[in-house]
Chains A and B, each alone.
Chain A
Amino acid sequence: MPHTAIADQPDESHHPTKFIWKYIWSQDHKVIAIQYAVTAIFVGLIALVLSGLMRLQLGFPNTFSFIDPSAYIQFVTMHGMIMVIYLLTALFLGGFGNYLIPLMIGARDMVFPFLNMLSYWVYLLSVIVLLASFFVPGGPTGAGWTLYPPQAILQGTPGADWGILLMLLSLAIFIVAFTMGGLNYVTTVLQARAKGMTLMRMPLSIWGIFVATILGLLAFPALLVSAIMMLFDKLIGTSFFMPALVSMGEQLDYSGGSPILFQHLFWFFGHPEVYIVALPAFGMVSDVIATHARKNIFGYRQMVWAIVAIGGLSFIVWAHHMYVSGMNPYFGFFFATTTLIIAVPTAIKVYNWVLTLWKGNIHLTTAMLFAIGFIFTFTHGGLTGLFLGNVVVDLPLSDTYFVVAHFHMVMGVSPIMVLFAAIYHWFPKITGKHLHKGMGNAHFWVTFLGTYAVYLPMHYLGFLGVPRRYYAMGDTDFIPDSAQTLNASITVAALIVGLAQLIFIFNLLHSLRKGKPAGANPWGATTLEWQTEHTPPRHGNWGTHLPEVHRWAYDYSVPNAKDDFIPQNVADQDVVMVAVPETAPLDVSQQAIDLGPGEPS
């Protein structure tokens, strides 16, 4: 085909030599990935500190004079927004998407490296605009991460003058950055795969990132439009979302707008956003589990179709976030039904992960510990989702700590467990060094047990009716005093978990310099990124020849093969076999082919 010429040629791309072109204004997807990751982890740490401050206030009210009610609600808002958008979305897609896509599908780079570079710098701009809101008069917005109008832009809400403007502006800039990156990811996956890398041979990581990126490209427009409209409402006094209202005794100039419209637009983005974060996590955890259990992923095709189905369904469930908005009961019925249908493909994925572990040769590496931890936290978070998906159960639980516990388990803790698994798994390829295993295990156990110490009691607080986003409980009849004891214990656990992340950061920095050399393929993995000529891979990834793919991504423990893994770029005739007992079928290469369900017939 005429237009594959660039990819098929021996690497003639221009290799930059100067530091600034190699590491700062770099167009290499690997460097861009690291830039994305470092920035995302940096803002993530800020959000982590904010959550610690929130917990201090909740656990020990009236102790910390610098946390007033405004500051508390600002912490809530910034914590939520940073974690969901600027950490998780950016790290999964900008970080791992950038790093893994070209390497895993056997391309030299993204299809449009310049646009890719631009994507990072625009993302950095959005982060700077966001962080600037901490330093403007009035501080950052305290509208809650959902930014519901009319309250978000009215006096009385912290940051109503400057904070909200910077927040909306930053989101719009982020969406521009994401679009530039996202177009690259989708086009690269569709058009730049190595010879033999059919769609149904791609590792599940790529499937997850690919579908999540499509979701992003279709869901972020709703956030962009609502951000623009709210900016107009705030800046030039239009009334898209603003009804006629009296604020602080004064009749405002707004009239006739629809606050519910914002909720619909926000959640039309917001629900797919959950899966923008979750689908890459699903994909990456599948690869980690298969590699460290030395077993092919169970039900590869099901896994792919489950990712696609979840992606499609995620666009028709958004109003389950709005059951308390007074919607028509039939509407609620529809959205409850679609919500519960999502449980089916999701459950298939969980069963398949467990069945992959079943009778596998499980290596309890740090990455595997986090992956198994993910199965626990995700199952727990998913099960409480069944409660909240039903209208009648959701109504009393809405806006309580039950919801907080649910979404933190399912889209906070779980994706972050996968991020840790992924970092422990791919760090040796990215840097050439192993992370320290002892520190890694300590990090895992404190984080895993700690999250349960934090979030299990929160479910109970929710059942008691403790409302979320409240600065302090005060004297409330229906909440027993023991709830405060529980809050204090949650705070202690949360602080311990927060501090445990320092072990992780130290481990990263320490291992970067003094880690054990890892070699090209320390885990014995099959996927292409472990088969590069150099570790870490150099600019252009593959030296003079692009790899050729002969099999699916999961040929682990193939019967009679000498090694317990066969890399994707090894042809059938090159597979080293052990002597076959006479009773076994002789044509082993044929057998290896039969194992791969992804073979086009």
Chain B
Amino acid sequence: MDKSAEQQASTGISSLVDDWSSDKQTFDMPWGKLMMWIFLLSDTFIFSVFLTAYMSVRMTTTADWPPTSEVFALVIAGQHVPLLLIAIMTFILITSSGTMAMAVNYAYQGKPQRAAKLMLLTALLGASFVGMQAFEWSKLIVDEGIRPWGNPFGAEQFGASFFLITGFHGMHVSVGVIYLAVIANRLRKGFYTDKGYHIVEITGLYWHFVDLVWVFIFAFFYLW
């Protein structure tokens, strides 16, 4: 067996490692993008711990869990409509992921003005999500008397974990809205003409992440 054949035979994990480790840059992407990925991985752990803690207190608490389908329902024309508000909010956030993806696409096509407009639209959708969340919070607090330290329906951990986790997520969305607005404004002014448009994709990574987290929060709080 000659040497090259021998090398080809030595596939498996060790050759994979050699190949992967031999480049100057481990991942073929800009520094900022990799950093965003690693940050999101760390942030994933934050949200995972939040949600795990929520599941844990929900299972160990002594009192009954409030009837979520009623607590979260809107009353429209005298009818309890469960999940209506939250369905709209989720729809808006997922739509914003779509506009974000289009912005990335236009940025890489070299159309920064169009990309900037779509980013602003994304920010607007994000802001309306936060607005609806504020509406939902005020409804829960004012109309139904739910507080972080107690509520009339049952286990007080409901209010505590709901406000803490959706609040933490809402903060992420708000930060994202500001981030999008700043980047879109720079994009509009031609700040990235020489630097390249990776920044749009990096912003997009953050935005999609915030969306994805929402899907889990939605499932664990509203559907469970």
Contact = CB atoms under 8 A, between A and B. Distances in A.
Interface string A166-205: 0000000000000100111011001111110111100000
A194 B41 CA distance: 26
A255 interface: yes
A229 B164 contact: yes
Count class of interface residues, chain B:
35 or more
A239 interface: yes
Contacts of B57: 240, 256-258, 261
Contacts of A578: none
B217 to A, nearest CB: 14
A444 B46 CA distance: 42
A186 B26 CA distance: 11
Contacts of A190: 25-27, 34
B215 interface: no
A218 interface: yes
Interface stretch (A220-228, A347-355, A555-563): A220-228
A414 B19 CA distance: 35
Contacts of B29: 3
Contacts of B161: 240
B93 to A, nearest CB: 23
A217 interface: yes
Interface in B2-40: 7, 10, 15, 17-32, 34-35, 38-39
Interface in A208-235: 217-222, 224-226, 228-229, 232
A224 B43 CA distance: 11
A601 B24 contact: no
Nearest to B43: A221
Interface string B32-64: 101100110111011011100100110011110
Contacts of A225: 46, 49-50, 53
A258 B59 CA distance: 10
B31 A187 contact: yes
A218 B53 contact: no
Dominant secondary structure at the B interface? helix
A600 interface: yes
A187 B34 contact: yes
Q: Name which of B42, B46, B155 has the most chain A CB atoms within 10 A of its CB.
A: B42
Given A191-B26, A255-B62, A255-B156, A222 B45 contact: yes
A184 B27 CA distance: 15
A229 B53 CA distance: 10
B51 to A, nearest CB: 10
B3 to A, nearest CB: 9
B149 interface: yes
Contacts of A183: 35, 38-39, 42
Contacts of B23: 198
Contacts of A238: 148-149, 156-157, 159-160, 164
A237 interface: yes
Given A236-B149, A237-B149, A239-B156, A255 B63 contact: yes
B37 to A, nearest CB: 9
A234 to B, nearest CB: 12
Interface string B150-194: 100001110111001000000000000000000000000000000
Contacts of A256: 57, 60-63, 155-157
Contacts of A232: 148, 160, 164
A199 B26 CA distance: 8
Contacts of B39: 179, 183
Contacts of B17: 200
Contact of A601 (B7, B28, B35): B7
B25 A1 contact: yes
A4 interface: yes
Interface in B110-152: 148-150
A182 B17 CA distance: 24
Contacts of A220: 42
Nearest to B48: A221
A4 B25 contact: yes
Given A197-B24, A240-B157, A111 B148 contact: no
B177 to A, nearest CB: 21
A54 to B, nearest CB: 33
A265 B49 contact: yes
Contacts of A197: 24
Contacts of A228: 164
Closest 3 pairs (CB-CB, A-B) = A199-B21, A238-B160, A256-B61
9 contacts: A179-B39, A190-B26, A199-B20, A238-B149, A238-B157, A256-B155, A258-B56, A261-B53, A600-B21
Given A228-B164, A238-B160, A265-B53, 9 more contacts: A111-B35, A112-B35, A183-B38, A190-B26, A197-B24, A199-B26, A200-B18, A221-B48, A224-B46
Interface of B: 7, 10, 15, 17-32, 34-35, 38-39, 41-43, 45-46, 48-50, 53, 56-57, 60-63, 148-150, 155-157, 159-161, 164, 196
